[in-house]
A = this chain, B = another copy of it.
């Protein structure tokens, strides 16, 4: 597992880097990285937390970028579809991808106390899932791995 994130890091540069990656990707693929889409990604990057669509919508509304649910959902759909954002099914929420551009199967560690979400690369698990499932003829198109529990920080406090 790489890139665990329950620790401090240069958040400002991590946001910019992710935004740049998205921008370049869209330019290359002739996709429109519109203000709403950019802002939604930015909002999610500003926190390392999963946010509900309606929380995001509330921020968009305050900023005059849109006020009705479809605005937020459409931007989120776009971002999810192109791998900049993941949906956390367990929380009905969304979180910015920490490894945009890289082919990966994300696994999420979700702290039930502080709600922080960390995205881990788990190549070994991916390989194992892929192998086991291919053996029985099931063809994987997408996988969701979500692990609930207590993060180190919250565990220390308890």
Using a CB–CB distance below 8 Å, which chain A residues touch chain B? 1, 4, 6, 89-90, 107, 109, 111-112, 118, 120, 122, 124-125, 128-129, 132-133, 135-152, 155
Contacts and interface: CB of A to CB of B under 8 A. Distances in A.
Given A1-B132, A124-B132, A129-B122, A149 B144 contact: no
Given A146-B89, A146-B143, A128 B136 contact: no
Contacts of A150: 138-139, 141
A112 B138 CA distance: 11
B90 A109 contact: no
Contacts of A120: 132
A102 B145 CA distance: 21
A129 to B, nearest CB: 6
A124 to B, nearest CB: 6
Nearest to A158: B139
B89 A138 contact: no
Closest 8 CB pairs of A and B: A137-B152, A89-B89, A144-B146, A141-B149, A1-B132, A142-B148, A139-B150, A143-B147
A6 to B, nearest CB: 7
Given A132-B122, A144-B145, A137 B6 contact: yes
